[in-house]
Amino acid sequence: MTIYVGNLSFDAEVEDLNHLFAQYGELRNCSLPVDRETGRKRGFAFVEMANEADETKAIDDLQDVEWMGRMIRVNKAQPRTGGGGGGAGGGRPRY
């Protein structure tokens, strides 16, 4: 049960997210991905909650709420599909 949190302030830290989501129940994990090259936060996070009912309540309550000066987007995380970015080969030639 993982929640995607988008449009985060670049000032947000894992501790801030833990504090926000702990109001809804037990957290299992919280990650704030950073860019591999620059080390800068990417503006989104993943929060894993222990209970699905708590997850649903958090999503419902926090969707489109202003937090740390930004209107955050909160929804159930979707598994990645298809390949990632970068890399050469495959696909159509560029003209």
- Name the band, by pLDDT with cuts 50, 70 and 90, for residue 93: very low
What distances in angstroms separate CA 26 from CA 1, 7, 29, 43, 55, one per listed residue? 12, 23, 9, 23, 10
Q: Each residue of 4-46: pLDDT tens digit?
A: 999 999 999 999 999 999 999 999 999 999 999 999 999 999 9
Quick one: tokens of 82?
A: 């298809």
Residue with token string 């000066």: 69
Q: Which CATH number fits domain 2-76: 3.10.20.30, 1.10.150.120, 3.30.70.330, 3.40.50.1950?
A: 3.30.70.330
What residue segments make up the domains of the chain, in order of their start?
A: 2-76
Distance CA 77, CA 47 (A): 9
At position 44, the amino acid (one-letter code) is F
Average pLDDT, stretch 39-67? Answer: 96
Q: What is the mean pLDDT of the chain?
A: 89
Half-sphere exposure of 20 (CA within 13 A, CB side): 25
